[in-house]
Amino acid sequence: MTDTLEKPATAVHEHRWSRRLVLWATVLTLANVLADLVIGSPMMVLPQLLEHFDTDQAAWLSASALLAGAIWSPLLAKSADLHGKRRMLVVTLLLACAGGVVCLLAPNLLIFLAGRFLQGAAFAAVFLSVTLVRQICAPGVAMAVVGLVTSGSSVVGIVEPFLMKPLVDAVGFRGVFAVAAVFAGLAALCVRAVLPESPVRGGGRIDVRGALLLGGGLGAVLAWTTLGGEHGRFSGGMLTLLAAGVVALAAWAFLSFRVAEPVIDLRALSRPILLTLLALVLAAGSFRGILQLTGLIAQIPPGLGLGYGLGHGESIDVLLAAPNVGIVVGGTLAGRLAGRYGPALPLLGGIALGAAATFTMLAGVSSLPLAVGCGAVVGMAAGAIGASGYNLATSLEAPERQGTTAGLVSVVLALGSVVFTFAGGEILRATEIPGRSAAGAPVSTATGVQLYVVTAGVLFLLAALPATFLARRAGRR
């Protein structure tokens, strides 16, 4: 039986699979593809952006939308609980569309970054889709659909480089933002025309001050973590940014206990929800770290005699495609299993699968076939963890607060990914071999690479502890 506190929605539209439900799932997957386009596509044209805007601020160009997503999420999540999930999903997509247009026409770097800030609202599309599905479908069907919409967008990651490259070659970097703007506008129209509104609404008002403190604090801390490597993590400016983020988060936590309706009610977060978030932040760091490592070692030839290496860079495409295939398979399968057995068990299964593949990667760092296989399995784990995390957290929450909780899941997943990316980079940087490089980048010792993999594996094992408790609790119920 599913471990849930959720009350049935008052106007559930679909209790089983139908043509209409397939159409809904397709439209929501289309909306979630936008988040991938906004975050990932500009990386394909990063050199052109640096040249066009005459800047060396690569980190700001690459991380700005993700940081903006952290700022937008608390406000959009709470607004969705009060004003409707479909309405806020349409607003989110229109903001991303406007951001794409601003980036397309931006005459200077400042206006371009303002456009990226608007585009960052697309980060909310995933959790808004999840909560909408949870309230317009019966629980068993909803969990399967959540698996599809949270992982189906990864198909784009397989074909995107091949589709975007001819466009970029023909019209330059602006083509990426034109596609994102058109895509966002089309998705907004489809959501508005096809999907019903969520039947459950919360009451009260939005704590705008709390949302700004929480979002701004998260954005500042993530900015310090993400951008510190380029600007000097302990420079005056970066330390000021970190201090501002910590103060903002502390102020938000203090105020959340004093206002009647905080943007996230810390007092209402039950022990199972906190354990779910803990498992997700650890697991997200693990699988994101392994996917990053495979991209790095793919550019190191085995002939350098380092004890690891997968090629001269020609292996990058297959190494990046394999995890995306795995994400689709893992997320879809986890959603189906959650509909029958509850989401806690697939979450634990995904974490166990990720741990096994990560420790196998100790041998895969020097074997391309094994690395591809490990990447695919880690991708399956990532898909299962993401889908199960959303399903579990929202099933443990009352319907009128599911938007806020799903938004918190998105922020936690991003936080885990960013923090371990930083920590893993520090491990590799601390073990660099002086005077050695490959593909223009410094290389680390085999010991550093192995330590990186072991650290990711240990995080998976730590994530399994709260996941095991949740699975046992669900089994008892």
Indicate which CATH number applies to the domain containing 289: 1.20.1250.20
Same domain, 282 and 364: yes
CB within 8 A of 373, min separation 6: which ones? 322, 364
Q: Are 477 and 1 in contact (CB under 8 A)?
A: yes
Q: Are 384 and 332 in contact (CB under 8 A)?
A: no
- Each residue of 371-423: pLDDT tens digit? 889 989 999 999 999 999 999 999 888 888 888 888 889 888 888 887 887 78
Determine the residue type at 238.
Answer: M
**Domain limit, last residue, from 189, 206, 223:** 206
Residue ranges of the chain with pLDDT lower than 50? 1-10
- Distance, in Å, from the CA atom of 100 to the CA atom of 184, rounded to the nearest integer, reads 8
**How high is the pLDDT of residue 359?**
94
Same domain, 363 and 414: yes
Same domain, 224 and 353: no
Largest CA distance in the chain: 66
**How high is the pLDDT of residue 3?**
43
Same domain, 200 and 289: no
Same domain, 292 and 425: yes
Pairing mode, strands 432-438 and 441-444: antiparallel
Same domain, 359 and 448: yes
**How high is the pLDDT of residue 258?**
84
Domain that holds residue 66: 1-206
- Distance, in Å, from the CA atom of 407 to the CA atom of 99, rounded to the nearest integer, reads 21
How far, in Å, are 41, 94, 102, 189 from residue 167 at the CA level?
12, 23, 19, 24
Same domain, 392 and 437: yes
- Distance, in Å, from the CA atom of 211 to the CA atom of 236, rounded to the nearest integer, reads 27
**How high is the pLDDT of residue 17?**
79
**How high is the pLDDT of residue 391?**
92
**How high is the pLDDT of residue 228?**
67
CA angle 425, 426, 428 (to 5 degrees): 65
**How high is the pLDDT of residue 37?**
78
**Coil, strand or helix at 433:** strand
Measured from the Cβ of residue 148, the count of other Cβ atoms closer than 10 Å reads 22
Same domain, 137 and 33: yes
Q: Are 350 and 337 in contact (CB under 8 A)?
A: no
Same domain, 234 and 121: no
- Distance, in Å, from the CA atom of 306 to the CA atom of 150, rounded to the nearest integer, reads 38
Whole-prediction pTM: 0.85
- Distance, in Å, from the CA atom of 119 to the CA atom of 99, rounded to the nearest integer, reads 5
User: How many domains, the chain?
Assistant: 3
Same domain, 367 and 304: yes
Same domain, 432 and 469: yes
**Domain limit, last residue, from 216, 243, 262:** 262
Percent of the chain that is helix, strand, coil (3-state, to 5):
80, 5, 20
- Distance, in Å, from the CA atom of 134 to the CA atom of 128, rounded to the nearest integer, reads 10
**Domain limit, last residue, from 222, 243, 262:** 262
Same domain, 144 and 117: yes
